[in-house]
Structure 1
Amino acid sequence: MPLFINRDQMFAHQVHLLEHKLRSKEERILELETENAILHLRLAECLGKLRRESEEESKALTQLQHQRNAQKITRSALAKLLSGVQAVKQELSEIFAVYLSFATELEEKSKQLLEKVGQASCPLNGHRGDNGQLQAHVAALERSLEEEREKCRAERQRRKDLHNTLVLQELRGNIRVHCRVRPVLPFDPPEEVVSAMSDDTVMVNCIKTGMPVHNKIFEFEVHGPEDSQDAVFQEVRPLMTSLLDYNVCIMAYGQTGSGKTHTMMGSRPLEENSGTQKDTQQGIIPKAAAELFLISEKPAESHTVELSVMEVYNNEVFDLLARDELSSAAGQRRDVITTSSGTIQVTSLTHPVCNASEVMQIISSVLKFRAHCPTLIHPDSSRSHLVVNLTVSSKSPNALALARRLQRAKRDMQQSTQKEWWSPRCHRANPSAQHSSDELFASSSSSPCPSPSLSPCPSPRPSMSQAPFKTKLQLVDLAGSECVMSGVSGAALWEVSCINRSLSALADVLGALAEHRPHVPYRNSKLTHLLQDAIGDAKLLLMLCVSPTQHFITESLQSLGLGTRARQVQKEPPRRKNNTLKVK
């Protein structure tokens, strides 16, 4: 039988299949369009992120460019100011030379006139008119000399003000930070990763296994391994110029064995450094002590210097001057007291000193009492923070010099006349006065004329006095920061803990000052409490001592990081300690 195919059913079935395929294609198209929309959204988000990142990078580059421009402008201004200071110094030296020659000439002429007046006033009473003219001439010469002295004093003050302005420039920050990289020693590993690139840049090569070398750059005043002790002190010396007006603190910071004691004390024994011959291996402390007795342009009797030596050991303050070889550390413990005016006082012994040699002799005699302990890094590692205080008490800067010159002129007149005392500043002479020279000039050096009971005529000048003011030079050799490789154990672990906690407290204080926090934790450690005046109200120089090798890179980076934090501190300028002359 033949087969009959229903074509309508076949066509309907094919149409049904095609419609099913069409629906599946449309669904696929919808899925693809959805995926396309999602991809478009993701693309838009990526483009937005890239746009924001590019904008942030452009802003960062613009800000960096502004900072560089500001640094260039500040440096150029500082260079101009430095050139101005040098020009003023040159002019001041010329003016001072002219002043010296003029003052010498005036003194000689004044002596000659006094001798002539003395010779003419004895035999003839009729020449009183000529004597009056000579007296007026001498008085005019003295006034001219006093004017020259005032000009010289004004130039000196101008030089000090310019120096203080230069030191307090914002380019260097309120805390000056220097970095000294010690040379590679025989016992050091050979790889050197810390190097001085220039006078103001130190570079650290951070080497990690399997990672590319990463260089870190730090900007400080840098002293390389080749720099001598004299070269280091030449950068420190400008701070000493303003010591008679401000408190000054110089502090050495770094790990054990990085050269802090060499920088502060020197490499030779202090008994040798205390000699009169100049030693190029002397550190900052002996050189600063010598500079202290040279910077004052006042008479020797117008200021006094007192020395105190303390150490901070196991978070306690001890007075080294109060010790002897039989005493114990516990009996010499001192308390740090904050006065009502906010200053820090320690009831420690002070010793008056007259020269740098005496200062170093005293320090060398008490330095053997400082806590020391050998470690794997250093055979004679310091276990305490050494604080050397030199307090300068200054008196009137002007009255003593003037009084001494007048006294010398009166003595010359006394020797020339032998019978009659006469002063060019008196309005009358008393020939009947027959006092001896010892009685006549037994008065205090602060008065230009003898006392009223001995002088034939009272001095018309008002008495001048000035309350003594004090400035302080603090020289600090901090104990080295410790690590596990130092090899300490047993009871020495407590010393290491106290050292690290006190140095952490110092870092916390600098961080609080850099971030302008309302509370600065000075009292978290006896070290920061003792140095509160130096950190808060003094010209502070922080000398970072670092080792150059890979073996100590962690401690070197920690020291350089603390120096960077210290440079960010923006505090009020230190208060001037000098006060003005009072006239009673």
Structure 2
Amino acid sequence: MAATSPSKVAPDKDDDELAAESSIEEALKSLDAGKIESAVRNMAKKIDALKTHNAQLLQRILQLQGNIQVCARIRPMSDEESQRGFHEVAQSLGETEVGCFDERTQQWKSYAFDKVWGPETSNRDVFQDVEPLALSVIEGYNACIFAYGQTGSGKTFTMEGDEVQQGISQRTIKKIFTLLEEKSIRHLSQQHPDRFEYIVKIGMLEIYNDEVYDLLDPSFVAASSGSPRKKPLDVRQSADNTVEVPGLRQEHVCSVDEVLKALDRGNANRATASTNLNEHSSRSHMILHVDITSGVGETKCRGSLYLIDLAGSERVRKSEVEGQALKEAQHINKSLSALGNVMEALDRKASHVPYRDSKLTHLLTNSLGGNSRTMMIMTACPHNESYDETTFALKFATRVRRINLGSAQRNILSKNLEETVKQLNQEKSQLSKAKERSDAQLFSLKKEKERIEDKLSRASLARANSKDEMRTLSVLRQANTDATARWQKEKNAREEKSAELGKLQEEYQKSQRELRNVKRGLESLSKKSEDKDDEIFKLKKDLRAMKEQLSEEKIRHRRSQVMKSRIPTPSSRISSASPNVGKPPSAAKASNLARPASRSSRGGVTDPGVSNSPIGDPNKVSRIRFRVLKILQEHDPSKVPKLDSLMLQFEGRETELLEKMMQRYAGGGTEQEEETEESPAPTQSTDEPETSLTTPPTSSTRPKSRGEIAKEKHLARMQRIRGNK
């Protein structure tokens, strides 16, 4: 861009300020309300003009700083989307802010951009904001404009337009030719010895399935996705460290009609397909390259403009594509993911930026890697069905906005490059100084406005006696009252909302405190429950130990009683012998034989000395224990170790235990029991002592081994057999 003198950027307005001040003074002195109102209105217009001028200066400084400009465009909802019940969740909140409503959290989140276009914005309005960057290529700068967003969000409409509204590409080409022709005519009118010349070349290519194809190649025909294509082109790094595509067709164009025909031909060759989300979905990335060389004589400048329509990112689950379309979607998402990785590396200022991960990022090296002015247009769908994709695109665009590529430099084809750089630096310094002067002038005008308003109030008080002036003043006061009432109403509404919000926050905090108290109570109860469980477990363990100890004590006590019963005392010998004193042995034997065997309640024969009453004789308990042991050894050996527990359980009811054991195993009673029933009773009375103090224990008094029991069973069986014969 040519250097601009300070007088042109920020003209000296001291004379104008003096004239305006004098006109205001005259109006105040005349006490004419119309003149005073006109003077104040003119002053307000001048203040607005200065604000606009300062904004333009700030925009130019930001361009020189080199940040990527990021703009957002929210398309309107279609009739079909409205009929399907979709509703808006993304809206433009102003010229530089987009709001997105999260239905899950019921909260709004805002995103800041350099420019925001709402649903009512036309392509013409969009181009007015894009025009300065796009036309900077005429001055020798490199520029890049690319549209990014999900499928169906309006990228192709923004870049290429339709039959009714032309897109950025067509409008930019038209404006470029218009400016070049104007510069040529203006140069001729100034009668320069050298002629102003310009050359415009265009090229179009698409990246389909991560392969590069020339859309302007006459032999190339691919009106739909999946059609056969010519051999793809390569992407290479040139000697001057720029990216180029060898074999790409560059058509020299001399008019707007030639460019538009070439664009129509290239767009017709672009791959498109119908998906569930977009009837005419672009299945490839399209790049339009405009190369402009212009200047006078040997000093010329060269600028390159890249207009890029990226394919839309899509979720296969929603688009429901398959086959070739699924493969295309995978390549599109892969290349867009590589673009995201490049942007992330640029944002982190990483030492290595992965430009070569895809053909798309490799081709964008010139635009993202240095000497270029770059603008990203993020397009978004407004309805709730695309909320996740919209928020992802907004976050990605916000991250891109932080990237600083450095200030772009003019491409001047001249030997005096150092002078040009110096001139640009001077221009930047002049712009900064001009902005400072404008800020100072704006501050001075604000002070002047305050002074004039003060004079106006004093003049109004001086004209209080005039009816016309009072009527005007009353109207102004009424307007002020209405405005104050509206303001007070809005203030009350805000205060009510704030109070309501405060109450909700207090309730929320109270709920949180109650929840924490409940959690602490639950934790305390849980801890107490665990302590009780541990205590119960310990008590159970102690109880089992005490039971085992008690059982062992009882067993030891029982054994001691049994052992004591086997060694009768002299007194027991004398007392037990008294019933048969003086009787002959035959009489004692008859007495024993005369005693009938008692029957159990179930008809079973029991031991003559056994009854259901508690047994106090240890010898009887020992005999019952011995018989129970024999029954268990023969029929259920696994329960033999539990015999002591059974005896302890039926203590005092040993006869009942013997009856139950005999009833349970009645079908297979022991042969020893049969032998006992068939053989005569022993001659010695059960009441008499079995041994004396001086006689050692015999085989009849000690427990028999299993071999002896088996031998007795065998002998009894043989006796029965011989008796039957």
Aligned length: 349
Distance 1:384 1:86 in 2: 47
Deviates more, 1:363-372 or 1:197-206: 363-372
Cα distance 1:498–1:86, how it changes in 2: closer, same or farther (>3 A)? farther
- Could you tell me which residue of structure 1 aligns to residue 142 of structure 2? 247
> Residues of 2 paired with 1:517 and 1:372: CA distance?
36
From 283, 286, 289, the equivalent of 2:170 is: 286
The letter for the 2-side match of 1:558 is F
Candidates 335, 339, 363, aligned match of 2:238: 339
Which one-letter code corresponds to 1:477 in the other structure?
Answer: D
**TM alignment of 1:33-432, pairs within 5 A:** 88=8, 166-169=59-62, 174-188=67-81, 189-208=85-104, 212-220=105-113, 221-243=115-137, 244-268=139-163, 281-296=165-180, 298-299=183-184, 302-324=197-219, 330-347=229-246, 348-395=248-295, 397=296, 399=297
User: Closer, same or farther in 2 for the Cα pair 1:163/1:249, shift >3 Å?
Assistant: farther
CA contact (8 A) 1:318 1:329 kept: no
Q: How far 1:199 sits from its partner (Å)? A: 0.5
Alpha-carbon distance, 1:170 to partner: 7.6
Structure 1 pair 307/165, CA: closer, same or farther in 2 (3 Å)?
A: farther
Query: What is the rounded CA distance, in whole Å, between the counterparts of 1:326 and 1:198 in structure 2?
Result: 44
Gaps of 5+ in 2: 13-54, 186-195, 418-725
Once the two structures are superposed, residues 150-181 of structure 1 have per-residue CA deviations (whole angstroms, 9 ceiling, x without a partner) of xxxxxxxxxxxx98983351899610000000
Q: Evaluate the alpha carbon distance shift between residue 363 and residue 570 of structure 1 in structure 2; reply closer, same or farther with a 3 A threshold.
A: same
8 Å Cα contact 1:307/1:390 also seen in 2: yes
Structure-1 residue corresponding to 2:313: 481
Distance verdict in 2 for CA 1:358–1:573, change over 3 Å: same
Offset at 1:88?
Answer: 2.9
- State whether structure 2 residue 371 is matched by structure 1 residue 534: no
Output the amino acid matched with 2:102.
Answer: C
Matched residue SS, 2:80: coil
Q: Is the 8 A contact 2:147 2:378 kept in 1?
A: yes
Give the TM-score normalised by the residue count of structure 1: 0.56
Aligned residue identity for 2:303: T
How many Å apart are 1:575 and its aligned residue? Answer: 2.5
Deviations 1:382-432 (A, max 9, x none): 00000000101224x2x4xxxxxxxxxxxxxxxxxxxxxxxxxxxxxxxxx
Say if 1:295 and 1:85 are closer, same or farther in 2 by CA, change over 3 A: farther
Distance in 1 of aligned mates of 2:258 and 2:103? 49
Letter in 1 for 2:110: I
Q: Report what 1:523 is aligned to.
A: 356
Higher helix share: 2
Question: For 1:288, what is the secondary structure of its paired residue?
Answer: helix
Q: Which amino acid aligns with 2:273?
A: C
Aligned to 1:557: 391
Once residues 294 and 164 of structure 1 are traced to their aligned partners in structure 2, the CA distance between those partners, rounded to angstroms, is 25
The residue type paired with residue 233 of structure 1 is F
Aligned to 1:574: 408
| Cα RMSD for the two superposed structures | 2.7
Displacement of 1:529: 0.4
Provide Cα deviations, 1:323-367, integer angstroms capped at 9, x if missing partner.
436687542411111112210111201100112221111110221
Alignment CA distance shift 1:470-1:165 (3 Å): farther
Letter in 1 for 2:108: N
Whole-angstrom CA distance in 1 between matches of 2:368 and 2:74: 24
Structure showing greater Rg: 2
Residue 576 of structure 1 deviates from its aligned partner by 1.7
Equivalent residues of 1:522, 1:529 under 8 A apart = yes
2-structure distance, mates of 1:198, 1:573? 28
Contact 2:151 2:312 in 1 (8 A): yes
Q: Is the 8 A contact 1:319 1:332 kept in 2?
A: no
Distance 1:196 1:85 in 2: 38
- 1:508 pairs, out of 332, 341, 346, with 341
Code of the residue aligned with 2:127 in structure 1: it is F
* Corresponding residue SS for 1:198: coil
In structure 2, distance between residues paired with 1:308 and 1:498 = 23
Residue aligned with 2:79, SS: coil
**Aligned-residue offset at 1:469:** 4.4
Alpha carbons of structure 1 residues 539 and 164: separation in structure 2 relative to 1, 3 Å = farther
- Cα distance in 1, alignment partners of residues 336 and 119 from structure 2: 25
Q: CA separation of 1:170/1:241 partners in 2, compared to 1, >3 Å: closer, same or farther?
A: closer
Identity percentage over the alignment?
A: 34
Please give the alpha-carbon distance, in whole angstroms, between the structure 1 residues aligned to 2:66 and 2:122.
25
The AA in structure 1 aligned to 2:240 is S
> What secondary structure, in the 3-state scheme, does the structure 2 residue paired with 1:576 have?
coil
Distance in 1, Cα, partners of 2:160 & 2:174: 13
Instruction: Flag the 1:556–1:507 CA change in 2: closer, same or farther, 3 A.
Output: same
Q: CA deviation at 1:470?
A: 2.5
Alignment CA distance shift 1:186-1:249 (3 Å): same
TM-score normalised per structure 2 = 0.46
Contact map agreement 1:181 1:548 (CA 8 A) in 2 = yes
Mapped contact 1:257–1:381 kept (Cα < 8 A)? yes
Gaps of 5+ in 1: 1-83, 93-161, 269-278, 400-464
Is structure 2 residue 357 aligned with structure 1 residue 472?
no
1:223 to 1:311, Cα distance in 2 relative to 1, 3 A: same
Report SS of the residue matched to 2:162. Answer: coil
Picking from 487, 497, 508, the partner of 2:330 is 497
How far is the alpha carbon of 1:472 from its aligned partner? 0.5
One-letter code of the match for 1:227? T
Amino acid at match of 1:365: R
Distance 1:326 1:516, change over 3 A: closer
Letter in 2 for 1:219: A
Q: In structure 2, do the counterparts of structure 1 residues 326 and 358 end up closer, same or farther at CA, with 3 Å as the change threshold? A: closer
Any idea what the Cα deviations from partners look like across 1:423-466, whole Å, max 9, x if unmatched? Answer: xxxxxxxxxxxxxxxxxxxxxxxxxxxxxxxxxxxxxxxxxx34
